[in-house]
Structure formats: C-alpha cells, structure tokens
Amino acid sequence: MIELSDWTTEPFLDEVREVLRAAEAQDGRPEVDPAGPLPREFAGGWHLLARRDGVPAGYLHLDVDGDAHGRQVAELVVRPGHRRHGVGAALTRALVERAAAGFRVWAHGDHPGAAALAAKLGLGRQRELLVLHVDADSATWPEPVLRNDIRLRTFVPAQDEEAVIAVNARAFDWHPEQGALTVAELRDEERQAWFDPAGFFLAEDDRQRVTGFHWTKVHDPVAGRFGGEPVGEVYVVGVDPATQGGGLGKALTLAGLRYLRSRGLRQVILYVEGDNAAALAVYEKLGFTRFETDVQYGQ
C-alpha cells in the first residue's frame, strides 16, 4: 500500500536521505551527503514523502520560488525496488494538484516510464538538458588562444564574487536557473568540499575587468557510474555578451579541460541545453558526445 505524507516545509530528513542515497547507489545521482544537508536542488519549498508498505519509497520536492521565468519546478525520485509499483504516479498526481499552473518536473535519464506517466497526466515534454561526455585521454585540447588584451587567472575567494555574478547575470539572462545565481549562493558553493579555486578560471581584460569565466567541478567516484572513477565537469562557462565573438568561450573551456586532465581525471562531463546548437557544435569539436538526457515535463 502507498501512503503519502502531508506536504511540509520541513522534510523527513532521514527518510528522504534514505530514498536519495538508494537512488544514487543505482543511478549515480543525486549526489547526497551521508550526514549533511540535502543537495541544493532540494532546499526550501515543499516536500512530500511516499511510503510503500511502511518503507520510504519516493520523494517529491516542489520549488515554489520557481526558476528565472517564474515557473515552479519539481524534483521527483522513486527508490529502486519500489519503481513500477505506482509510487511515481501517486507523487505526480499529488504534484499536479498542488503546483501552480505552468509548473515543470524533472525526469533525469529520460526513462520511458517517465514519458508514459507524463503523457497519461497530460504533461508535455518542455525542455531537454543534455549530459555530454568525453574521454580525456583521447581528446585533443590545444593551448587556449587569447586576444592580446585578455589574460587568464584563477578565482580569488572574497574578492571576485561580485564580478563573476555580474558576468553570469548578463551571460545567462535567458537561462531558467543559472542567470539567477546570487553572490550569497556563490559563497555557499565555496564552502562545499568540492570547491577548488584553482579550477575556477577568470578572463580579465587590460582594465582588470572580468569578461568571462570557466568554473570546473570534480565529482567523487560513484558506484555504477563512469566506471566508479572520479569525473570532471565543465560546470559553468560564462562570457560577457559584450565580448562574445572573439573565441573567449572556447579558450576558457580549453583552459578548464586541460586543468581537469592535469589532475589525472580521465572523464569529463558537461550539461547543455538541447536546443543550444551553437554550444553543441563547439563541444562536439572538443570531442564530447551525448551521454544522457534529462527532461522537464510540464503543462
């Protein structure tokens, strides 16, 4: 029997972590701290827990603040071993009843079951986020080429936050999530164990203005994903629109890729919008191929 908790602003932390860690063990994500707070995508908002025969079996998070376009966004996770038993359907029906019109819900991995459930509930495929992958050992990544008035340096904590956020806001004013990043959120990220300023590259012009950045990330090994090896990520590449067109984005990307490889990482991933043809063309030339697809469904 499936039972849903009441919606709450305070999650049943131990049971939710149990669901998320079980999903991570099989799917490789979400990345969950065994004892710390939930990942940032589950912060705030409303929480709903599903139990099946008394066992924590699924979890639904609804971000009521929404994305940069004002749409509420949900994350839904069903615990392995409880999938295809109606848990996801029960949580999705509760979401449809609760969420504001125009909401979106993520389906990570583009599973056929998620597509079938979405169709049954009248939710259409609204957005694709592609996960691209490259084998760093076999890729050819030349030295970055910069204009004479541009130099690269690394991020300095407590100095560069405002400059990076200003460029980020201009570069991603169209993006549902990234463009809304704040200085406070960036500083929160700096406190995470994975944060590495040596892998956070800034482009600076001859007037010492930040014109672009490449923020890399290294993920710890996860069983069953990427052969159980640590994996690098092209986390965010942002270029001020006023300086686009001179190859700065490619140069920043190369600097970060070469750094990740220098750390001994053999695999690198990145996330890119499925309809961003220009970015896809750049990444394909750098050796990236499609690995996974995340989908947002909505009304």
Annotated binding site for acetyl-CoA: 76-78, 237-239, 244-250
Q: Which residues lie closer than 8 Å to 17 by C-beta, 6 or more apart?
A: 32, 34, 38
**Which candidate, 133, 139, 154, 119, places its Cα nearest to that of 234?**
133
What's the CA gap between 107 and 295, in Å, rounded?
5
Beta strands in 82-209 (DSSP E): 104-108, 124-135, 150-154, 200-205
Q: Which residues of 194-218 are buried (b: 16+ CB within 10 A; e: fewer)?
A: ebbeebbbbbbeeeeebbbbbbbbb
**Which candidate, 250, 249, 233, 252, places its Cα nearest to that of 291?**
233
- Nearest-Å Rg of the Cα atoms of the chain is 20
Q: What is the DSSP annotation of 23-91?
A: HHHHH--S---SSSPPPGGGSSSEEEEEEETTEEEEEEEEESS--TTS--EEEEEE-TTSTTTTHHHHH
Using CB atoms within 10 Å of the CB of residue 7, give its burial: 0 to 12 exposed, 13 to 18 middle, 19+ buried.
Answer: middle
SS3 230: coil
Q: Work out whether strand 150-154 and strand 124-135 pair parallel, antiparallel, or are unpaired.
A: unpaired
Q: Binding site: which residues?
A: 76-78, 177, 217, 233, 237-239, 244-250, 271
Identify the DSSP state of 256. H
